């Protein structure tokens, strides 16, 4: 069965709650489609107004992060039950900015992925190499390690529903998109890695996004690649351009 594309926006630390409502109202008519799942991953404080604003549309609201404990003395964190209680279905896990600025590791990513599945939330699991790693020729080794650890203890049935976002760090927010060949090569490598961990059926089912300066111009050539099932979009997700990315065909 053909995989349905999934196009997700990562708002990062942008948009106050009132700005979020305004942006969703602007984007709502532009992102209508039956051909892709459309997810807006928004700051925690925007989740509830965003859900309200997106009601009746095809926009699904996701979180940008989540903690791996159920509850307790973890000041400032958001629990999985807090997300499911309001209807959040997706959460970005292990974005490179969280790994770089908030000390997330492959191990904490794994704990969060397991916890998300436990609560029925679909994780969008991020991986990606630095420019140095690419230049040293260790891109695939590095990403395989990230993916293998992220999926430790995850069942094949769960993995089939997961989303992996391949985001070369050197391409995030830099305006430098990976070439379609580079993006397809790594996304194909990730699918092979999933086949090794699980089986062909799981590898065929899992959805793999490309992320890194995706815009309306680059989306079509990226999204036709056989192993690229959509995009994780930062900057361009905050503009009407996002409508063109979603309706890339």
* Residues annotated catalytic, as ranges: 95, 167
What's the CA dihedral at 242, 243, 247, 249 to 10 degrees?
-60
Where does this chain touch ligand PEP (CB under 6 A) — which range of 29-37, 82-90, 148-156, 165-173? 165-173
- Rounded alpha-carbon distances, angstroms, from residue 47 to 15, 84, 237: 11, 11, 16
How many residues bind ligand PEP (CB under 6 A)? The answer is 14
Are the CB atoms for 222 and 210 separated by under 8 Å? yes
Residue closer to ligand PEP, measured from CB, 18 or 174: 174
Question: Using CA atoms, how far apart are residues 12 and 92, in angstroms rounded to an integer?
Answer: 10
What are the distances in angstroms from CA 32 to CA 35, 112, 245? 9, 31, 11
- Name the minimum Å distance from CB 155 to ligand PEP: 27
Q: Of 123, 157, 97, which is closest to residue 39 (Cα–Cα)?
A: 123
Altogether, the residues listed in the chain come to a count of: 249
Report the nearest approach of ligand PEP to the CB of residue 247 (Å).
Answer: 18
Binding-site string for ligand PEP from residue 206 to residue 225, where x marks contact by CB under 6 A and - marks none: -----xxxx-----------
Q: How many CB atoms lie within 10 A of CB 192?
A: 14
CB closer to ligand PEP out of 60 and 79: 60
Q: Which two tokens stand for residue 52?
A: 């309200």
Using CB positions, name the residue nearest to ligand PEP.
234
Choose, by CB under 6 A, the member of 20, 27, 232, 246 that binds ligand PEP: 232
Binding annotation for substrate = 10-12, 173, 213, 234-235
First-to-final CA distance of the chain = 20
- Is 167 one of the binding residues for ligand PEP (CB under 6 A)? yes
- Quick check: 173 binds ligand PEP (CB under 6 A)? yes
> Where do contacts with ligand PEP occur on this chain (CB under 6 A)?
10, 12, 167, 172-173, 211-214, 232-236
């Amino acid at each position: 069965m053909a995989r349905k594309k999934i196009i997700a926006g990562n708002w990062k630390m942008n948009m106050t709650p009132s700005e979020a409502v305004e942006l969703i109202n602007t984007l709502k008519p532009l992102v209508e489609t039956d051909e892709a799942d459309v997810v807006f991953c928004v700051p925690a404080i925007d989740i509830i107004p965003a859900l309200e604003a997106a009601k009746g549309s095809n926009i699904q609201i996701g979180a940008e992060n989540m903690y791996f404990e159920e509850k307790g003395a973890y000041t400032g964190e958001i629990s999985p039950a807090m997300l499911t209680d309001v209807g959040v279905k997706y959460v970005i896990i292990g974005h490179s900015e969280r790994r770089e600025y908030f000390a997330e590791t492959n191990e904490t990513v794994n704990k969060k992925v397991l916890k998300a599945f436990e609560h029925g939330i679909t994780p969008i699991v991020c991986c990606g190499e630095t420019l140095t790693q690419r230049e040293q020729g260790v891109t695939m080794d590095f990403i395989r390690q990230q993916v293998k650890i992220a999926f430790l203890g995850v069942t094949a049935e769960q993995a089939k529903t997961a989303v992996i976002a391949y985001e070369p760090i050197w391409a995030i927010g830099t305006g430098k998109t990976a070439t379609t060949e580079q993006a397809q090569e790594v996304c194909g490598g990730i699918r092979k890695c999933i086949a090794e961990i699980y089986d062909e059926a799981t590898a065929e089912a899992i959805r793999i996004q490309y992320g890194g300066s995706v815009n309306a111009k680059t989306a079509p050539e990226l999204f036709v690649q056989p192993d690229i099932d959509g995009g994780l979009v930062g900057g361009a997700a905050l503009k009407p351009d996002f409508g063109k990315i979603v309706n890339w065909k």
